[in-house]
Structure 1
Amino acid sequence: MTMEPLGSTTIVSSSNHTHNSTGDGSCPWEVSDKAKLCRFLCYGSERDIYTAREERHVSMENAGALLSLLQEGRGTEVVDEIKRFTRDAQAVRLHPSLFALALCSQYSELKTRQAAFKAVKEVCRNPAHLFAFIQYKKELKEGMTCGIWGRALRKAVSDWYNEQDPMNLAAVVTKFKQREGWSHQDLLRLSHTKPANESIALICKYLTKGWKEVQAAYAEKENSQEVIKVLSYLEVVEKVKHSCDETEVINLIEEYKLEREQLLTDHLKSKQVWRALLKEMSLHSVLWTLGKMTSNRILEPGGSATQALCERIQSEAALEKAKIHPFSILLALENYKRGQGYQGKTKWEPNSSILKAMDSAFYTSSMNVEPVGKRFLLAVDVSTSLSSIVPGTSVNTAIAAAAITLIFARTEVDTQVLAYSEGALVPCTVSADMTLAQATTEVVKIPGGSTDCTLPIIWATENGKAVDVFIILTNNPVWTFTASPVEFLQKHREKFGANSKLVMCGLTSTGHALADTEDRGLLSMSGFDLGSFNVIRNLAQGLI
């Protein structure tokens, strides 16, 4: 293996890149039912189009391949894929997996049903997931005479509660009280749950009978240490519900690490209560409530709470613990810069210290992006117009394209960046040590030409650059091709013996197919969000 410089990025060249096996005996470029299932589990559609920030309603219309696999007797294989996508955080959205698991749990084949019910506690990681799974089962049974609450579901739900750590269960059930029209009281009653131990029994009694009955039942009993611990925690949750004393609420938040969902709306009118919550609030939640907290003067210029928060946002240890992706920070940063909520009701004056801290965090958080280890080529066609915004965000397309290229340059050793110039392509000097402002200037300094996604493939092929994944970034709503991109992609694959793939990302498009032919290596994206990185990663690794 040799290292050679290319512009400002380092290129790893190797002769070991060969065609990958799909593992199921099919052609590597065939869009098999298995590939369609993986797309569905990843982003909720079997098609080769990923639509950013869209929470589509999952239905049988989107699950043709899933049904085909079940009918072929491959149900346990489907359940294994559901577990893999949820366990390895490969799914952009979890609802497709919950829907698929619900469907498998009601399929006629016994082995499939058994595998699905066994997977419930692994796939449903919190009560919100469990409620959604139950609701999908209910919807799938619409019009059928039999109900959903058979012995297998009752056992699966009972096991979900019984196999939780008691203190963790006490915390999550008081945060996620109900979702999708279901409550814990409903699930415990319908599943006929028999608690596995005294601590779980205490929580079940609390959820089904209420705090007064718990107090009466446990007042005179000789309780174990664990039961006393759970009892104390639930007592605190109840005390907060009825407390109007600001000092008491703050002390309970700090001592028991209570969260916003466990408080009353009136409590959240207090600045001091917010500042107490802020100490333990997840960094994800912090980033998306900065505007509200600035508007309500919880975070004031030069204040101790603001200073502590800025230190935390920039902390390498805090960012690593929260596993925050740099693009997530960019989205929050641009939203905060905007100074106004999307509904137009909340307004704030962005704090310069917070802006500086978030800018620093963008670069530091690159350590949270695990390299894919493939050869990437990013071709940018973005106009200099700052009025063009990525839908659903406050980020203009020029900054978005620069951020995407910079994240790849900082995390992937083998990254080449190109820019369009009047129908031709030129190398772009985007390097890992650049700032976002420098990268933005670099990618937009050349006027955009037509969006012909074959150009980077031709350039790489003619210049002897083997590429695993081509990524085209454009804000042009019209995509033109001199010829089918598949034809040029196949030539590149043959020349370098590589499983080359192509992602066409329309940063402002509403979603349309990249080509008429079906090729597993082609994918188009409508808009761009945090999930887009997951989709590209899955495609690069041959998972979808």
Structure 2
Amino acid sequence: MAEYMEVEEDPKTVPQTAPLPGQVPNSAGGYSFAVNDFTRLRRFLVLGSEGGTYYTSEKKLGKENAEAILRLIKSGNGPEVVKEILRFSLDGRTPKQDPILFALALCARDDDPETKKAAYDALNSICRIPTHLFTFVSFAEAMSAGSGWGRAHRRAIQNWYLTKSPKSLAMAVTKYQQRDGWSHRDLLRLCHLKAEAPGLACVLKYIVKGYDECNKEFGSTDDVHIDELMSFLLAVETAKSCDERYLVQLITEKGLVREHVPSIHLNSQLVWAALLNGMPMTAMIRNLGKMSSIGLLAPRSDHLKNVCSRLRDATLLQKARIHPFNILLALKTYAQGHGDRGKLKWDVDKNITSALNEAFYLSFKFVEPTGKRFLLALDVSGSMTCPVMGSRVISCRDASAAMAMVTARVERNYELMGFSDKLVKVPIKPSMNLDEATTAISRIPMGGTDCALPMIYAKQKKLKIDVFIVYTDSETWFGKIHPTEALKNYRKATGIDAKLIVCGMASNKFSIADPNDPGMLDIVGFDSAAPEIINNFALGYF
């Protein structure tokens, strides 16, 4: 059971149901500060609006975020918006690409020429695989209101294909063939693409006319590179109907991947063993349950050792841009022993859960301990029970516990507490694995939201705190004093110029941090750069 801590409210203060200067009504009936549109943009890029929040529907939240982006563009900040989108995408700071692609499409379809040019110039760098390109086109099409494909749009799609090497394009178009009702053939038809280079022309012919027509034109050449391309494309076609052993040979010799394998062979240990040898990190993490269900990752097997070794390799994780949230999602899903959909089940292996636990911390940018004194405060109120980023297995409360564990494992001088309408002692230790920590946080009784409690408690108990980190959706309303005022009271009483970092766990427009106080900072929950930002702010670097 949670251990409740007695906290006395400061007298003669403005309650959270009344505004301080500069505050706006939040969705819970209290008052918070409105974040600026750039902060709103960053929250959206990382957290999206999928699933909405406890108080706001997904549709409304998505509309509000789009309006914030459009305001930035209309105020002349469109190119800066694109730079931010590009930076978050290239640095791997977001769990999902859809918010990135939605924001990019908004910029590309805007009337401002500078914003439009910046967006299309960034397209190749952001749309790294065809799935991203299809999603971008789908968003752009929805925003165009039937206005068709303009010159800039056609040229950008053309460049996506023309800047690829023939070999990488052949792999891409056979691995990711369609999404959201769009196929490569559709895009080539609409962008009027023609390729002069023989290699690219070969791949485009295959896309539009199929293998047989492609073979008629390119099957008998003296070009070794064309021969290599045709050999790969033949392997892709052969894989659709060959037997298991020949398929294994094609995977090994031609580099075929999971998407090339027909469903009739997806329960074969031989096929999965061949795939695992060259399987990308993201695909490996996504298919841990499947490989376990068919017995490939048997206890003490070489395949199990291989998987665990790769999960513990920080270089591989960083190179593959594996986002911490996706590892936490994989851990929570794998640990339950069954998928969210369908009938797939597996025996859970502690070696894999342990390796996933380590991979989670390794996927964040490494930071040195600051030596500062921290109070980590987790919002465990009712509004934090909503799913984070639309996940069925991870709530905002789970996510906040996982984020706090990152700091708790780096810093040595900290206290960890939870709060709703009361302050509770959180039964979490750094020695726990993530599944244990998130399970512990989910058992704490919930109530209303009073984000001032951590600062009130620290003042009352005369704790020496340099940095308060509050993990919350900022829907505070319950207390008799606002969090910012509670922090000012703490500073005055202790003489410590304490900082407040608000880790936003929802992509809404609210924050308990006063934007005019340089000692308060908003960061985005599950931004993979969050630990580095916390470190720099705690040390006073900005």
Q: TM-score, length-normalised on structure 1?
A: 0.73
- Code of the residue aligned with 2:478 in structure 1: it is T
Q: For 2:354 and 2:480, locate their aligned partners in 1 and report how far apart those are by CA, in whole Å.
A: 40
Unaligned ranges ≥5, structure 2: 1-32, 538-542
Offset, 1:327:
6.2
Query: 1:402-460: per-residue Cα shift (whole Å, max 9, x none)?
Result: 654432222356654346799567798945xx24399859978x987976432222344
- Tell me if structure 1 keeps the 8 A contact 2:46–2:527: no
Q: For 1:436, which of 424, 429, 433 is the aligned residue?
A: 433
Alignment of 1:41-440 (within 5 A): 41-44=45-48, 60-142=63-145, 146-147=147-148, 149-195=149-195, 197-223=197-223, 225-243=224-242, 245-301=243-299, 303-313=301-311, 322=320, 324=322, 328-343=326-341, 345-350=343-348, 354-363=349-358, 366-371=361-366, 376-380=374-378, 392=391, 403-412=402-411, 415-418=414-417, 423=422, 430-431=429-430, 434-436=431-433, 440=437
- Aligned-partner residue type, residue 458 of structure 1: I
1:79–1:232 Cα change, 3 Å: same
Deviation at 1:251, TM superposition (A): 0.8
> 1:140: Cα distance to partner?
1.2
Q: Partners in 1 of 2:330 and 2:45 — Cα distance?
A: 27
CA positional deviation for 1:246: 1.2
Aligned positions, number: 488
User: Residue 241 and residue 289 in structure 1: after superposition, are their counterparts in 2 closer, same or farther (change >3 A)?
Assistant: same
Code of the residue aligned with 2:433 in structure 1: it is L
Q: Give the distance between the partners of 1:265 and 1:441, measured in 2 at CA.
A: 35
* Deviation readout 1:266-311 (Å, 9 max, x if unpaired): 2224332122222222344333433333333344455554454455
For residue 176 of structure 1, report the CA deviation from its aligned partner: 0.9
Deviations 1:94-146 (A, max 9, x none): 3233223223223223222222221211221211111112112211122x5x3
The structural deviation recorded for 1:153 is: 1.4
Deviation of the 1:365 alpha carbon: 5.2
Amino acid aligned to 2:486: F
| Pair 355,232 (structure 1): closer, same or farther in 2 beyond 3 Å | same
What is the distance in 2 between the residues matched to 1:346 and 1:238?
28
* Partner Cα distance (2:192, 2:454) in 1: 61
2:45 corresponds to which letter in structure 1? L
Q: Cα 1:195–1:537, aligned 2, differ >3 Å: closer, same or farther?
A: farther
CA displacement 1:192-213 (0-9 Å, x = unmatched): 2232522111111111121111
Shift of 1:215: 0.8
Task: Please say which of residues 36-45 and 174-183 is displaced more in the overlay.
Answer: 36-45
1:532 aligns with 2:526: yes
CA contact (8 A) 2:235 2:250 kept: yes
The 3 A distance-change label for structure 1 pair 332 and 61 is closer
Residues 472-498 of structure 1, C-alpha deviations (whole Å, 9 max, x = no match): 699xx9973242113223555786556
Q: 1:84 to 1:68 in 2, by over 3 A?
A: same
**Match 1:483 to one of 467, 481, 484:** 481
How many angstroms does 1:152 deviate by? 1.4
**Aligned CA distance change for structure 1 residues 534 and 276 (closer, same or farther; 3 Å):** same
Match of 2:467, SS state, is coil
Quote the offset at 1:222 in angstroms: 2.6
Matched position secondary structure for 2:376: strand
Local SS of the residue matching 1:501: strand
More deviation, 513-522/89-98: 513-522
8 Å CA contact retained: 1:128, 1:179: yes
1:505/1:182 Cα in 2 relative to 1: closer, same or farther (>3 Å)?
closer
The 2-side partners of 1:207 and 1:364 are apart by 38
Per-residue CA deviations over 1:490-518 (Å, capped at 9, x if unaligned) read 55578655652234769xxx999676998
Q: Structure with the greater relative contact order (CA < 8 A, sep ≥ 6): 1 or 2?
A: 2
Is the contact between residue 268 and residue 294 of structure 2 (CA under 8 Å) also seen in structure 1?
A: no
The separation in 1 between residues aligned to 2:522 and 2:339, in whole angstroms, is 33
